[in-house]
Copies of this chain bind each other. A is one copy, B any other.
């Protein structure tokens, strides 16, 4: 009996996720949190946080209060769940009900939080130069004494160029962060995955790894967490000169065998990767031919000795960063784009 399924299979290795957390934790002498925003970078927030809490994580970060509510439901009471976007209008009920800790980004958010939820835990996000999220130096100088009197649980900032160790922005942001937080008596955090790898000067009291947990660069030693196999719908023989796919963008330069697999850009396999992407039968390369369709991809399987039932697009042979190169993007986007139609299997 054939047990192959008609839907692509996404396999998520939770043991590798836990190993990656422990490996990043071992690089520092401080506390190691875990960033689980965007549904744990597409891996599934509930499964990820339950794995990470067993590995030893006690502090989780999300982007939005709604995500924090999901994580709290998976974790139960106890671990701290912090929200990068801070305390936004309308977040009051979620923050209170799920014991979330907003990272306040502005004087407006600070005033709003203290008025709406006096005594409720909060942290402060400072902007040390990225100009994206957090209080500016002048804003912080004006607010600092008032804010510290309210007992923030964490002061944090975020690096703009940590994936490039030699970028002068790293030292500049480090200096700004130290200047803004000297002698402050509150736990501090600056480093995500890239910052951990920059060395102990960037670690402070808590690190916040994200992409490295999920097997992505810049943590080159990460274990691969995700594998994605795409079932073949059919294989056809075509003559030299025949075209394949939308817009007739590819034609066969020799008699060819073309496999059509059941996944496409609606599954997060970014359309732009078409001309450079490869599928794999074990370690044998099968170049994508023609445009990636919404639900279908065509690949050249002419050189395979046997007809497989599926082809791999992510796994040990082709990492999220390899596929990102083909798509002209970064591994982070490959991970967070992984689609809703996959059958998900978790390895523990």
- The 30 sampled A-B contact pairs (Cβ below 8 Å) are A6-B90, A7-B64, A38-B266, A38-B341, A39-B340, A41-B266, A63-B294, A63-B295, A64-B262, A67-B341, A86-B233, A88-B262, A108-B234, A129-B243, A130-B243, A131-B245, A131-B298, A132-B244, A132-B260, A133-B296, A160-B245, A161-B246, A161-B248, A167-B248, A169-B243, A266-B337, A271-B330, A272-B329, A294-B333, A337-B337
Assuming the A-B contacts A160-B243, A160-B245, A248-B161, are A6 and B131 also in contact, with contact meaning beta carbons closer than 8 angstroms in the complex?
Answer: no
**A85 and B6 within 8 A (CB):** yes
When distances are taken between beta carbons in the complex, the residues of chain B under 8 Å from A237 are 136
* Most B C-beta atoms less than 10 A away, residue of A163, A244, A270: A270
Shortest C-beta distance, A162 to chain B (Å), equals: 9
When distances are taken between beta carbons in the complex, the residues of chain B under 8 Å from A65 are 6
Which A-B residue pairs are the 4 nearest by beta carbons? A6-B88, A38-B266, A63-B295, A266-B336
Assuming the A-B contacts A160-B243, A295-B84, A340-B340, are A91 and B234 also in contact, with contact meaning beta carbons closer than 8 angstroms in the complex?
Answer: no
Q: Give the interface size class of chain A.
A: 35 or more
Question: Is A280 close to B, CB under 8 A?
Answer: no
Closest to A246 in B: B160
Question: Is A255 close to B, CB under 8 A?
Answer: no
**A272 and B328 within 8 A (CB):** yes
**A234 and B133 within 8 A (CB):** yes
Which residues in window 63-108 of A have CB below 8 A to B? 63-67, 84-86, 88-91, 105-106, 108
Shortest C-beta distance, A276 to chain B (Å), equals: 14
Shortest C-beta distance, A34 to chain B (Å), equals: 15
Assuming the A-B contacts A64-B7, A132-B290, A336-B294, are A236 and B127 also in contact, with contact meaning beta carbons closer than 8 angstroms in the complex?
Answer: yes
Assuming the A-B contacts A108-B234, A234-B105, A329-B272, are A132 and B293 also in contact, with contact meaning beta carbons closer than 8 angstroms in the complex?
Answer: yes
In the assembled complex, the Cα of A66 lies from the Cα of B231 at a distance in Å of 14
In the assembled complex, the Cα of A270 lies from the Cα of B276 at a distance in Å of 18
In the assembled complex, the Cα of A106 lies from the Cα of B271 at a distance in Å of 26
Question: Is A164 close to B, CB under 8 A?
Answer: yes
**A106 and B234 within 8 A (CB):** yes
**A66 and B105 within 8 A (CB):** no
Mask: chain A, 145-174; 1 = CB below 8 Å from B; 0 = not: 000000000000000110110010100000
In the assembled complex, the Cα of A68 lies from the Cα of B67 at a distance in Å of 29
**A89 and B270 within 8 A (CB):** no
**B247 and A336 within 8 A (CB):** no
In the assembled complex, the Cα of A245 lies from the Cα of B133 at a distance in Å of 9
Mask: chain A, 166-205; 1 = CB below 8 Å from B; 0 = not: 0101000000000000000000000000000000000000
Closest to A244 in B: B131
Closest to A86 in B: B233
Which residues in window 124-143 of A have CB below 8 A to B? 127, 129-133, 136
Shortest C-beta distance, A264 to chain B (Å), equals: 8
Question: Is A21 close to B, CB under 8 A?
Answer: no
**B233 and A85 within 8 A (CB):** yes
**A3 and B242 within 8 A (CB):** no
